[in-house]
Amino acid sequence: MRTVAVVGASLAGLSAARSLRKRGYDGRLVVIGDEPHRPYDRPPLSKEFLAGTIGEGDLALETDDEDLRAEWLLGSRATGFDRAARAVRLADGREVRADGFVLATGAAARILPGADGLAGVHTLRTLDDARALRDELALGGRLVVIGGGFIGAEVASTAYALGLDVTVIEVAPTPLAASLGPTMGSIVSGLHTDHGVRLRCGVGVKGLSGEHRVDAVLLEDGSTVPADIVVVGVGARPCVEWLEGSGIALDDGVVCGADGRTSLGGVVAVGDCANWYDPRAGRHRRVEHWTGARERPDAAVAALLSWGESEPGVPKPPYFWSDQYGVKIQFAGHAARADSVTVEEGSPDERNVLAVYRRAGRPVAVLGMNQPRLFTRWRKHLAVAA
Amino acid sequence: MMIPACRLSDLPRGEAYRLDIDPPVSVFHTDDGEIFAIDDTCTHQDASLADGWLEGCEVECPLHSSKFDLRTGAVDAPPAKLPVRTHEVLVEDGTIYVRLSTDAPNLPPCIAARLAGGVT
């Protein structure tokens, strides 16, 4: 293999580039990124960066002395994949031909229909999004967060600490139920009301009102929530439009095996755009977690360099963390597979629990709130047991 | 400076003891019976390495899986970019002592910012 193109310059793309070099790939390496920035870390965008306690330099993922001997094509959006020519087409008309490809184009924040062009309405996914939101939060006022998932909850927590008046609106009866299950979802989202942040559940958003700038969120029950700033945190969709018609199988992202291989030889997919086969669950799964974007590219790169001859290992159970209102929340595994959840340590009232999810008596997931030591032990246990 | 940390008999193999000084230091007793002391705070973000996972001569941060070599303090796995300080360890009369490094610690940006804020 003489040229490898990594399409996407965030954590998954950088991890793939690092793995290529670490595994001895010595050929030409091209990294294509649609943002103008060098690889940066996203988790702090909704927390420390938004709060202003760390700056842009702290977000850099590369170390000062790191040299991947890569050609960086930044600010270049991939618009198409030419299967016959084995080339990625870029928005500026250029083409990058390669033998091997790592698809790492990530996911984009979903937006609300009709919110276009209304000032004061934000999503949070990129560094530029975070800069814009940080500047507005600094002015204070009433913030309405649409969506009680992890991004929404972290923004609410950060804005509360900055002194804003915050309301969170969640269409489901319990926030976080999809990832944590209803019982623990309700306990974790109780952190909002503990701090006087209003939480309105079970009601959908009808639209936004405002002339040039948003002034309220209109709800489906006919009520209105006044707003100076609105953050829409209603999930993300994989950025794979550019692959349509390429012959690479797509279904909620790039369909790939447990080793990241796509339906086309010499092409692997990693990170948020990849819909990996999960042998544990027996189905494909798109997991939008930092840890997966950091760890899985190595398996995909191994498959790419060996032309699929390497043995895919069983991936570790998905792991993610969140920081809200000073509480460290950690989760590993799949809550949906559980038929029971029990609190093993701590107390839900004090918001410091270690809860274990089980299926037929066997642990399948673990949740920690301010329990890092116990959580670490359970997470390792899960990796071995599952 | 030499600081008494804990009794050797109170620190079984595979466990860590956190010394609550500023910045905190952790003493690790490896499965092979060696004892090491390093700065307790991960250089990436505020997390206690004493809460992490000890394997061989490596500790994995409990939050974001950065790994540090207990012998050198070097980063073995990202997201951390800077090493932690290592400290000299002495065991005398069944007590573990730590001689603190005189190097400047590599604290994560959040804590460094807070400390800088406290000075001004």
Please give chain A's pLDDT, 386 residues, in tens.
999 999 999 999 999 999 999 999 999 999 999 999 999 999 999 999 999 999 999 999 998 889 999 999 999 999 999 999 999 999 999 999 999 999 999 999 999 887 778 999 999 999 999 999 999 999 999 999 999 999 999 999 999 999 999 999 999 999 999 999 999 999 999 999 999 999 999 999 999 999 999 999 999 999 999 999 999 999 999 999 999 999 999 999 999 999 999 999 999 999 999 999 988 778 999 999 999 999 999 999 999 999 877 776 777 788 999 999 999 999 999 998 899 999 999 999 999 999 999 999 999 999 999 999 999 999 988 877 65
Residues A225 and A132 in one domain: yes
Residues A160 and A266 in one domain: no
* Single residue among A199, A232, A265 that ends a domain in this structure: A232
CB of B78 less than 8 A from some CB of A: yes
Residues A93 and A241 in one domain: yes
Helix (H, G, I), strand (E, B) or coil at B11: coil
A116 within a domain of the structure (yes/no): yes
Are B62 and A372 a contacting pair at CB < 8 A? yes
* Single residue among A183, A215, A232 that ends a domain in this structure: A232
Q: Cβ contacts (< 8 Å) between A373 and chain B: which residues?
A: 48, 50-51, 62
Helix (H, G, I), strand (E, B) or coil at B99: strand
The Cβ of residue B92 has, within 10 Å, a number of other Cβ atoms equal to 10
Q: Cβ contacts (< 8 Å) between B47 and chain A: which residues?
A: 372
Q: For chains A and B, what is the number of CB pairs under 8 angstroms?
A: 44
Range of the domain at A192: 111-232
A314 within a domain of the structure (yes/no): no
Residues A32 and A88 in one domain: yes
Per-residue pLDDT at B72 exceeds 80: yes
Residues A228 and A135 in one domain: yes
Residues A70 and A18 in one domain: yes
Burial class (CB in 10 A: 0-12, 13-18, 19+), A247: middle
Distance from CA of B32 to the nearest CA of A (A): 20
pLDDT of residue B120: 35
Cβ atoms of residues A143 and A164 within 8 Å: yes
pLDDT of residue B111: 79
pLDDT of residue A384: 74
pLDDT of residue A86: 97
pLDDT of residue A182: 95
- CATH value at residue A355: 3.30.390.30
Are B62 and A321 a contacting pair at CB < 8 A? no
Please tell me what DSSP assigns to residue B83.
P
Write the residue in A53, A64, A295 that is nearest to B110 by C-beta. A53
pLDDT of residue B65: 87
A16 within a domain of the structure (yes/no): yes
What is the spatial distance between Cα B69 and Cα B71, in angstroms, rounded to a whole number?
Answer: 5
Burial class (CB in 10 A: 0-12, 13-18, 19+), A360: exposed
A317 within a domain of the structure (yes/no): no
pLDDT of residue A16: 98
* Single residue among A232, A263, A293 that ends a domain in this structure: A232
A319 within a domain of the structure (yes/no): no
Residues A218 and A186 in one domain: yes
- CATH value at residue A135: 3.50.50.60
HSE-up (13 A, CA, CB side) for residue A259: 18
CB of B48 less than 8 A from some CB of A: yes
Residues A228 and A241 in one domain: no
Q: Please name the helix (run of DSSP H) or strand (run of DSSP E) that holds residue A17, with its range, or none.
A: helix A11-22
Q: Cβ contacts (< 8 Å) between A377 and chain B: which residues?
A: 53
Query: What's the mean pLDDT in B34-60?
Result: 95
Determine how β-strand A267-269 pairs with β-strand A100-103.
parallel
Angle CA A77–A321–A300, to nearest 5: 50
CB of A94 less than 8 A from some CB of B: no
HSE-up (13 A, CA, CB side) for residue A211: 0
Q: By C-alpha distance, which of A45, A11, A187 is closest to A127?
A: A45
Residues A129 and A168 in one domain: yes
Q: What is the mean pLDDT of chain B?
A: 91
Residues A31 and A89 in one domain: yes
Query: Which pLDDT band holds residue B119 (cuts at 50, 70, 90)?
Result: very low
Residues A207 and A263 in one domain: no
CB of A29 less than 8 A from some CB of B: no
A311 within a domain of the structure (yes/no): no
A281 within a domain of the structure (yes/no): yes
A318 within a domain of the structure (yes/no): no
Cβ atoms of residues A349 and A381 within 8 Å: no
Tally the domains of chain A. 3
Are B51 and A294 a contacting pair at CB < 8 A? no
The encoded tokens of residue A218 equal 């209109």
Per-residue pLDDT at B114 exceeds 90: no
Please tell me what DSSP assigns to residue A40.
B
Residues A84 and A141 in one domain: no
